Amino acid sequence: IKRIGVLTGGGDCPGLNAVLRAVVKTAIVKYGYEVIGFKDGFKGLVDNKFVKLELDDVSGLLDRGGTILGTSNKHNPFKFPVNVDGNTEYKDMSKRVLENLDMFGIDCMVFIGGDGTLTTARDLMKMGIKGIGVPKTIDNDLSGTDTTFGFMTAVYTATEAIDKLHSTAESHHRVMILEVMGRYAGWIALEAGISGGADVILIPEIPYDINKVAQKVMERKNRGKSFSIIVVAEGAKDVEGDMVVNKVVEDSPDPIRLGGVGNKIAAEIERITGIESRVTVLGHLQRGGTPVPYDRILSTRYGVHAVELINQGKFGMMVSLKGNRITEVPIEEAVGTLKTVDPDGELVKIAKSLGVGFGD
Ligand code: F6P
């Protein structure tokens, strides 16, 4: 191995730069490899937009949010958007990727991304590209690893929001609803809800009955607590399976619509309880900014391990955290099936022991 390539794909996430820093430093300092960074995810791999990454390029990156390489969730090489007479058509450009890597003498790739990016990476590997995956997503919904980097930062941001909502909720005797991200999974809502002391946590894995949510709010009122905090995951749905839809999530093999459920809950809670309710949609604040120390360390461990696997010639793997140990799993095992919250799992039970309502 002489030259390795790296790209960041899908939605951005705190810790991407920390992974890049660890990959570049380990590759250059420990093994003497050259590192080429492709710009804007798979787009750069198809369009040949890249930059040689030197030690200076990754200096000071540990605490910087986003990705210096840029990212995109709309440029899958197997369905690549091309402009034909002013119209967008989708073409299979995967062979171009192979040609480009060959042309620039790139021996292997590090793909940093979530389920969409790693699924594409897996398909490119089936065509002969040597690659390693690094699990990224604030949603923490990738199988094959206990934790993805970026998740803890999102939980931290959401927890801070809950803390702030507490004081204003209490002053105004209101129900405050915080809608958080997470797509199909309730991890951010669950963990931020527990760490912020939410009264109700609504997640996609446990369909909620709005009357039970209202009952919880009323129980608190009857105990003299004139305010309540509800944390709701954007993918939460009620027992009728009614999911509010107002946002298309595109970098998924099966694009779905999510978000806006907080407004629906606020209106219903106010109608049923008569208590004034307000909504905060945390949105992309959860994805921006500096990674918390946990994510800086996890990103660094992942980046270093990715290069170690390259050195060992162990391709087709995704780096992974199992317990407190960094290891690797075949990328095949990591993609396709999302890791969602177990409704009977320990964290849900703990929250229920404290009296947190899930609307079930
Ligand atoms: O997968 C990360 C995530 O932030 C989800 O939590 C959210 O549903 C989605 O991406 C938002 O995507 P976009 O940046 O395209 O709005």
Distances (CA, A) of 246 to 154, 180, 185, 235: 22, 14, 17, 11
- Report CA(181)–ligand 1 centroid distance (Å): 7
Residue 7 β-bridge partners: 111
The protein residue whose alpha carbon is closest to atom 8 in ligand 1 is 183
pLDDT exceeds 60 at position 203: yes
Instruction: Supply the pLDDT for residue 240.
Output: 83
- Provide the edge-to-edge strand list for the sheet that holds 175-180: 200-202, 228-233, 175-180, 277-281
- For the question of whether the overall pTM of this predicted structure is more than 0.90, the answer is yes
Q: Is 137 in the pocket of ligand 1 (CB under 6 A)?
A: yes
The helix, strand and coil proportions of the chain, stated in percent and rounded to the nearest 5, come to: 40, 20, 40
How would you classify residue 123: left for phi > 0, otherwise alpha for psi between -120 and 50, otherwise beta? alpha
Tell me: the pLDDT tens digits for 62-91?
999 999 999 998 899 999 999 999 998 999
Q: What is the pLDDT of residue 243?
A: 61
Look up residue 95 and give its two tokens.
């062979």
Q: Provide mean pLDDT across the span 186-193.
A: 98
CA distance 151 to 99: 35
Whether the CB of 204 sits within 6 Å of ligand 1: no
Selected catalytic residue, list 139, 141, 199, 295: 139
Handedness of CA 203, 209, 210, 214 (dihedral sign): negative
Instruction: Taking residues 201-209, report their average pLDDT.
Output: 96
281: CA distance to ligand 1 center in Å?
13
Residue among 4, 15, 28, 314 nearest 151 (CA)? 15
The number of the ligand 1 atom at minimal distance from the alpha carbon of 251 is 15
Query: Do residues 318 and 134 lie in contact, with contact meaning Cβ atoms separated by under 8 Å?
Result: yes
139 catalytically annotated:
yes
273-321 pLDDT, tens digit each: 999 999 999 999 999 999 999 999 999 999 999 999 999 999 999 999 9
Cα distance between residue 230 and residue 358, in whole Å: 10
From the DSSP assignment, how many helices (H) and strands (E) are in the chain? Answer: 11, 15
